[in-house]
């Protein structure tokens, strides 16, 4: 067994390979790690690059891939790519779900029954509270899109990001759970995690501090290099953070994967589970 | 510098072992290479092995490094290794002689071994194409095979670093500049 495969099997390196498909987004959320917005530098990975990384990841011992951004579904080839990725490894893709209407919604239908899940951001059961953070009318778009996806058999998770989950109003959280259940998403497919103080959240003084020692090492590929966590390739004041950069080399994937396994070594489990970031 | 040095707060994981808590002590070679941490992670141990303490005396190695850097006109390396040379038992007069133009060193280095070495450095780092056979022969008469191999690697690595430091316009540290000024080598 290779050092990378051993590190994954022993849980020292996360079993999922993350890839930032792009950095641009149709929203401009207050706590966005990557300062994503409509006009930012796209830092885009090409679909064949993503597929090749997934093939390499499978060979190295990874058991899943994650796609994040930016908003991945701004790329018109994303739905088709997810189907191809699912033939290689199970996929989770993070989305704001505000684009799932008409042609884009129908393009997702072929994903029904495949090992693909779309993790959708929804931060409150109150439209005003949700939209204050994520942008005008996003709540209405999400609650319209989720049942449509569920009805088509597409896997959906709901991700709620809060300033401090521990002190959040439990009744407000329960109202959110009632809402996601009504949309067809079970409790086990609802994750609640804190804002991580990087990117725009750091500028705004929001969330929990999280460095390498606090994060689960998960190899993350971007157009700028390979990072030690999907919370790594963040952007602040337009500049890419490099404190969690592993290598600039991303292909062959064995280079950054081997380097991450070496950096992680035999360190104790990270604090991410305690912080609820994972 | 042509590129922004990587700030200590942004140091990539592989680069962390090469950074000092004291910003003044972080060389621009490290702070520039940190942009490509996997390159830093192999280059710095290589530099330490080839330019650092080894079976060959520090004075001998600094003759090669400083002379090659003068021939390649690398401002950063000439300044930095002028100071290192002083710490390696070379006199101010010898350093000044090495920093002169072609063959400026001859009067300052009467020992045959030093002359063979410096003549060979001039033939390797100060010329292109085949190395003059007379220079190679003279070197071989004063150094063993392992020493010739190590000196050749040292000279070649110095040329590589000369071009790296020159192309990226790396600045010598303030401490080095103060030291050189105090020694009359500014």
Q: What is the pLDDT of residues A138-147, one digit of tens each?
A: 999 999 999 9
On the question of pLDDT at A278 being above 60, the answer is no
| B45 shares contact with chain A (CB less than 8 Å) | no
Those residues whose C-beta lies under 8 Å from the C-beta of residue A100, and which sit 6 or more positions away, are A73, A108, A141, A145, A148, A149
Q: What is the per-residue pLDDT for A197?
A: 93
Query: How confident is the model at residue A163, as a pLDDT?
Result: 87
How confident is the prediction for chain B on average, in pLDDT? 96
Dump the DSSP string for chain B: --SPPPPGGG--GGGGGG--SSGGGS-HHHHHHTTSHHHHHHHHHHHHHHHSS-SS-HHHHHHHHHHHHHHTT-HHHHHHHHHHHHTTT--HHHHHHHTSSTTTTGGG--SHHHHHHHHHHHHHHS--SSPPHHHHHHHHHHS-HHHHHHHHHHHHHHHHHHHHHHHTTPPPPHHHHHHHHHTT--
Give the nearest chain A residue to B38 (CA atoms). Answer: A247
Query: Of B161, B18, B6, which is closest to residue B84 (Cα–Cα)?
Result: B161
Give the separation between CA A223 and CA A225, rounded to whole angstroms: 6
Please state, in angstroms and rounded to a whole number, the distance separating the CA atoms of residues A12 and A92.
Answer: 21
> Which segment of A72-86, A91-105, A126-140, B30-44 scores lowest on mean pLDDT?
A126-140
Query: How many H helices and E strands in chain A?
Result: 10, 11
**In the prediction, which pLDDT does B24 show?**
76
Helix, strand, or coil (residue A112): coil
pLDDT at B64 over 90: yes
Q: Give B14's contacts in chain A (Cβ within 8 Å).
A: 246-247, 259, 263
Q: Give the CA-trace dihedral at A126, A132, A134, A135, to 10 degrees.
A: 110
Check if A148 contacts B (Cβ < 8 Å): no
- Least Cα distance to B40 among B72, B62, B65, B18 occurs for B18
Establish, for the pair of chains A and B, how many residue pairs have beta carbons separated by less than 8 Å. Answer: 38
Which residues in chain B are classed under CATH 1.20.1290.10?
A: 58-182
Closest alpha carbon to A101 in A142, A153, A160: A142
Q: pLDDT band for position A270 (50/70/90)?
A: low
A248 interfacial to chain B (CB closer than 8 Å): yes
Q: How many CB atoms lie within 10 A of CB A59?
A: 14
- Contact between chains at B38 and A249 (C-beta distance less than 8 A): yes
CATH architecture of A3-269: Alpha-Beta Barrel (3.20)
Helix (H/G/I), strand (E/B), else coil: A145? helix
Mean pLDDT of the A153-177 span: 92
User: Distance (Å, rounded) from C-alpha B12 to C-alpha A269?
Assistant: 20
Whose tokens are 């989720």? That residue is A146
Quick one: pLDDT at residue B173? 94
Residue with tokens 């071989």, as numbered in its chain: B140
A246 vs B contacts (CB less than 8 Å): 12-14, 37
Say whether A245 and B9 touch across the interface (CB within 8 A): no
pLDDT above 60: residue A277 = no
> Does any CB of chain B come closer than 8 Å to the CB of residue A259?
yes
Residue from B37, B40, B42, B45 whose CB has the most chain A CBs within 10 Å, to mutate? B37
Q: Cα–Cα distances in Å, from B29 out to A43, B168, B175?
A: 28, 9, 16
What burial class does residue A224 get, using C-beta atoms within 10 Å of its C-beta: 0-12 exposed, 13-18 middle, 19+ buried? Answer: middle
Judging contacts by C-beta atoms under 8 Å, the chain B residues touching residue A217 are none
Q: Do the chains contact at A247 and B14, CB–CB below 8 Å?
A: yes
Which site among A227, A242, A265 would you substitute to test the B interface, given the most B Cβ atoms closer than 10 Å to its Cβ?
A242
* Chain B residue numbers touching A232 (CB-CB < 8 A): none
Torsion-angle region of residue A191: left (phi > 0), alpha (psi -120 to 50) or beta? beta
A208 DSSP assignment = B
Is A106 touching B (CB cutoff 8 A)? no
- Taking residues B55-66, report their average pLDDT: 98
A249: chain B residues, CB-CB within 8 Å:
38
Determine what percent of chain A is predicted with pLDDT higher than 70. 96
What pLDDT does A274 receive?
52
CA dist B98 and B114 (Å) reads 12
Residues B51-57 have a mean pLDDT of: 97
Q: Do B12 and A255 count as a contact with CB atoms less than 8 A apart?
A: no
Q: Which segment of A27-41, A208-222, B93-107 scores lowest on mean pLDDT?
A: B93-107
Whether the per-residue pLDDT at A86 is higher than 50: the answer is: yes
A242 with B12: Cβ contact below 8 A: yes
Comparing CA positions, the residue from B6, B40, B5 lying closest to residue A242 is B6
Across the interface, whether the CB atoms of B37 and A246 are under 8 A apart is answered yes
**Chain B environment of A259 (Cβ under 8 Å):** 14, 38, 41
Which alpha helices (DSSP H) does chain A contain, by range? Answer: 3-9, 47-60, 78-86, 102-108, 127-134, 138-151, 170-182, 200-203, 254-264, 272-275
Q: Is B37 on the interface with A (CB under 8 A)?
A: yes
Note whether B126 contacts A: Cβ–Cβ < 8 A. no
First-to-last C-alpha distance (Å) of chain A:
26
Set of chain B residues whose Cβ sits within 8 Å of the Cβ of A255 = 38
Among A122-136, A252-266, B91-105, B166-180, the minimum mean pLDDT is found in B91-105
User: Which three-class secondary structure string do you get for B114-139?
Assistant: HHHHHHHHHHHHCCCCCCCHHHHHHH
CA dihedral B93, B99, B104, B109 (to 10 degrees): 40
CA distance B97 to B63: 11
One-character DSSP codes across A87-103: TTS-EEEEE---S-SHH
What mean pLDDT, rounded, does chain A reach? 94
| Nearest-angstrom CA–CA distance, B10 and A265 | 21
Complex prediction ipTM: 0.86
Instruction: Give the pLDDT mean for A47-51.
Output: 98
- For the domain made up of B58-182, the CATH class stated in words is mainly alpha
Nearest chain A CA: its distance from B13 CA (Å):
6
């Amino acid at each position: 067994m290779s050092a990378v495969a051993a590190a994954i099997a022993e849980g020292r390196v996360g079993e999922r390979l993350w890839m930032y498909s792009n950095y641009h987004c149709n929203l401009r959320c207050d706590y966005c790690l990557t300062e994503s917005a409509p006009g930012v530098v796209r830092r885009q990975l090409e679909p064949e690059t993503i597929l090749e990384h997934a093939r390499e990841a499978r060979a190295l011992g990874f058991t899943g891939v994650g796609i994040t951004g930016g908003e991945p579904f701004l790329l018109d080839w994303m739905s088709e790519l997810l189907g191809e990725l699912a033939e290689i490894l199970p996929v989770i893709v993070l989305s704001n779900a505000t684009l799932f209407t008409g042609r884009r919604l129908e393009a997702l239908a072929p994903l029904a029954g495949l090992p693909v899940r779309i993790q959708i951001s929804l931060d409150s059961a109150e439209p005003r509270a949700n939209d204050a953070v994520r942008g005008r009318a996003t709540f209405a778009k999400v609650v319209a899109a989720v049942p449509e996806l569920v009805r088509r058999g597409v896997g959906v998770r709901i991700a709620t990001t809060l300033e401090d989950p521990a002190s959040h109003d439990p009744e407000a959280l329960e109202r959110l759970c009632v809402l996601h259940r009504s949309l067809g998403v079970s409790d086990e497919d609802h994750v609640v995690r804190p804002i991580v103080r990087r990117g725009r959240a750091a500028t705004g003084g929001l969330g929990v501090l999280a460095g390498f020692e606090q994060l689960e090492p998960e190899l993350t590929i971007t157009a700028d290099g390979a990072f030690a966590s999907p919370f790594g390739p963040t952007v602040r004041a337009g500049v890419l953070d490099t404190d969690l950069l592993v290598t600039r080399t991303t292909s062959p994937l064995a280079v950054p994967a081997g380097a991450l396994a070496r950096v992680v070594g035999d360190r104790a489990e990270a604090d991410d589970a305690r912080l609820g970031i994972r | 510098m042509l590129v922004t040095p990587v700030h200590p707060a942004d140091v990539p994981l592989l680069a962390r072992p090469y950074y000092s808590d004291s910003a003044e002590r972080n060389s621009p070679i490290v702070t520039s290479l940190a942009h490509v941490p996997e390159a830093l992670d192999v280059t710095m141990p290589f530099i330490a092995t080839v330019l650092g303490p080894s079976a060959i005396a520090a004075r001998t190695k600094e003759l090669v490094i400083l002379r090659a850097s003068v021939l390649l006109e690398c401002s950063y390396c000439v300044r930095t290794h002028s100071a290192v040379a002083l710490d390696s038992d070379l006199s101010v007069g010898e350093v000044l002689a090495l920093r002169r133009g072609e063959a400026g060193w001859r009067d300052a280095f009467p020992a045959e071994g030093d002359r063979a070495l410096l003549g060979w450095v001039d033939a390797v780092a100060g010329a292109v194409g085949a190395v003059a056979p007379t220079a190679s022969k003279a070197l071989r008469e004063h150094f063993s095979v392992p020493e010739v191999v190590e000196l050749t690697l040292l000279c070649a690595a110095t040329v590589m670093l000369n071009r790296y430091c020159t192309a990226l316009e790396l600045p010598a540290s303030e401490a080095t500049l103060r030291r050189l000024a105090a020694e009359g080598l500014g």
